[in-house]
Structure 1
Amino acid sequence: MITCIIIEDELPAQKVLKSFLNKTLNIELLASFQTAKEAHRFLQTNTVDFVFLDINLPDIMGIDFMKTLINPPFIIITTAYPDYALDSFDLETIVDYLVKPFSFDRFLKAIRKIEQRVKQIETEPNDCIFLNIDKTLHKVLLHEILYVESDRNYLTFITHEKKYVFIDSLKNWITKLPQHFVQIHKSYIVNLNHIDKIAGNEIHIGKICIPVGRTFKSNFMMKFNAEN
């Protein structure tokens, strides 16, 4: 089932979207909101596949709101202002742009695009992740990641070839990465498969030496021994 929410301050427009959604299969509406602030609270603890998003919201422009999200869902813009179309498609996650009033047939075309994008992600091999950096999704193979380093509000994913830096926190990734990625310090997650040596309270990945925090060592050693 593909999930969505509606962010639309006009209740009649919400009603139209809900009516159209009731006629579709495989789409579940989880919630609807009149302000970006309400939607933001929901998205902090819930994930959805896509959003119906009005551009002119009472508290913030819809596009500006989506730019504040670290990993935004797919978006279908719904607005009465066609002039915004070109600017909105600068965002990688925007799939379609519906100008009010739109027909059910036009609505279905947008839904089909969403279904294709969601299916594409689901059929991607599960040995990779996509990192959203400067509005661009970068595909990174999991087995190539050596470790992840946190520095204040920034994360760096380090591979043999590249470094990927973006705003995020370790706690948001420790549950997203597979089990062979283990947090060993308040600032580090390491790929167990790339550890070359453990010496006291330090691990070595190639020429890199990373400290093992005292509160993390027991869990780290348990998972390391289980993998080896």
Structure 2
Amino acid sequence: MNQTQNELNNLYRRYMLRARQRDQAAVCAFFRLADPVFHQFACIPYFRSLLGKEETYSIAAETAMEFLLYHPVENTHQDLPRLLKHRIRCDLINLAHKKERRDRMTRQPAVPQDRIDDETEDADESGLLPADPRKEPENLLLQKETVRLVHASLPRLKEQEQDIIRRFYFRNQGVAGIAREMHLSENRVSVEKRRALQHLKAIFNELRLQEP
């Protein structure tokens, strides 16, 4: 880093340390320093077209607040401004990709390739998915009749199971994303998802038997 970058890095570190001691002035000073970065991302056409300028700015600011309060600062050789930009960029890209996937599903529902491995893990055990989802990406949970059964069955699942099923099958989130947002381990999410699918299968059978 050159002298100017080093001075900026030291300011970042100083404000981050003081903010963690509940120094409100340090929080404000940090955000004044970072504000041009938020505007820079908000003006990028890709993010602006998918998320909107104000939403992009808001997401960048939220990421910066998390960075301010929780990013480790013990290593004095870190380039904190660069790391903050990288964190913001990653969060925005993830959200933009989710928005693109939702838009594609609205036009033509399909199972994205990056979720196929997650789904094949439960295919044989649950009996809810086709034997070879790679050949049949429109799996049963996305078929009209099964979606109707899912909606009818969800209230009979535990609250956490309902949340995971909704996120996985209707919001198009993968295990890693669900784990991050629900503050659970990926293994825990996989276990809960498998259990929820088993419960759904049993409920489906009940509902089908009750139908005329």
Q: Same fold (TM over 0.5)?
A: no
Bigger fraction of residues in strand: 1
Bigger fraction of residues in helix: 2
Q: TM-score, normalised by structure 2?
A: 0.30
Q: TM-score, normalised by structure 1?
A: 0.29
* Bigger CA radius of gyration: 2
